[in-house]
Amino acid sequence: MTAADGRISNIPAEVVAEIVDTAAELAQAARAATLLHFRAAGLTADNKEADHFDPVTVADRLSEQKMREILGRRRPDDGILGEEFGTTQGTTGLTWVLDPIDGTRGYLSGTPTWGVLISVADATGPVYGLIDQPFIGERFEGGFGRALVAGPTGTRVLKTRPARPLAEAILFTTFPEVGTPAEGAAFRRVADRARLVRYGMDCYAYALIAAGQIDLVIEAGLQAYDIQAPIAVIEAAGGIVTDWQGRPCPAGGRVLAAANAEIHAEALRLLNA
């Protein structure tokens, strides 16, 4: 069975089918939980950090809680890594990596660019993932030979953009400062060469790479739950996701996601210039 990036997975076919079905159930439960509070009057957030605004809402917690309840019923021996409730050890060698709302700042603002991230990883990294946008009703899926988006206009195969020069490319990142001053300077070396640079899309930007709409996403300071589902979806669609040295990045950190090998190499050279 082929995993997200073409690696051959040793997961049996019947387990693959169970994983895909379980992931869909998780996504549906997370849709209901997040839409219950999205754009609701009086929605507030707690701040998880002392030195900057890192919000968490009742919807973040409810979304992850509902997904964990399903996993406890359907896949009780798998591990779980979730943003809000931490790590639960498993015994199967598979771990569900959950971000119940990726883009809580956007969620609080009422923009439909946040998403629910669900992935399954083995010892080599993510083998399957979903990027789900509940309000729009789009679900991007990648892994086990699948690369699909289903939404208001139907279902179609995901395929990243073919190669084109950076001077013609569209580049996204979430925060204008990107990370540290040095990381911001590295990003600007790439941004100064790109045709169009846009900000603030959170996980939806990675979905747009898989959908063939944009060419690059560059970010820093990510966690495993921020990037594992996007890795699975983008690689299944033909793209590449690495750190800024070109290495695998399932743990997060500095991330370069690209539609194809050529523009990935061009951006990588500039990041390290």
For residues 81 and 216, membership in a common domain is answered with no
- In angstroms, rounded to a whole number, what is the distance separating the alpha carbons of residues 94 and 98? 13
128 is a domain residue? yes
Q: Identify the CATH number of the domain in which residue 124 sits.
A: 3.30.540.10
pLDDT at 8 over 60: no
Strand 170-173 with 196-199, pairing: parallel
- In angstroms, rounded to a whole number, what is the distance separating the alpha carbons of residues 215 and 166? 9
Residues 108-134, mean pLDDT to the nearest whole number: 96
What is the rounded average pLDDT for all residues in the chain?
Answer: 95
For residues 148 and 104, membership in a common domain is answered with yes
119 is a domain residue? yes
In this predicted model, which residue has the larger pLDDT, 6 or 246?
246
Q: What is the DSSP letter of 8?
A: B
Which residues are bridge partners to 156 per DSSP?
149
- In angstroms, rounded to a whole number, what is the distance separating the alpha carbons of residues 23 and 3? 15
Residues 57-115 pLDDT 10s: 999 999 999 999 999 999 999 999 999 999 999 999 999 999 999 999 999 999 999 99
Total domain count, the chain: 2
For residues 150 and 213, membership in a common domain is answered with no
Please report which confidence band the pLDDT of residue 197 belongs to, taking 50, 70 and 90 as the band edges.
Answer: very high
For residues 147 and 177, membership in a common domain is answered with no
For residues 47 and 134, membership in a common domain is answered with yes
Of the residues 100, 134, 157, which one is the last residue of a structural domain? 157
For residues 188 and 225, membership in a common domain is answered with yes
8 is a domain residue? no
6 is a domain residue? no
Residues 200-238 pLDDT 10s: 999 999 999 999 999 999 999 999 999 999 999 999 999
For residues 121 and 26, membership in a common domain is answered with yes
**Domain membership of residue 150 as a residue range:** 13-157
For residues 127 and 183, membership in a common domain is answered with no
For residues 153 and 134, membership in a common domain is answered with yes
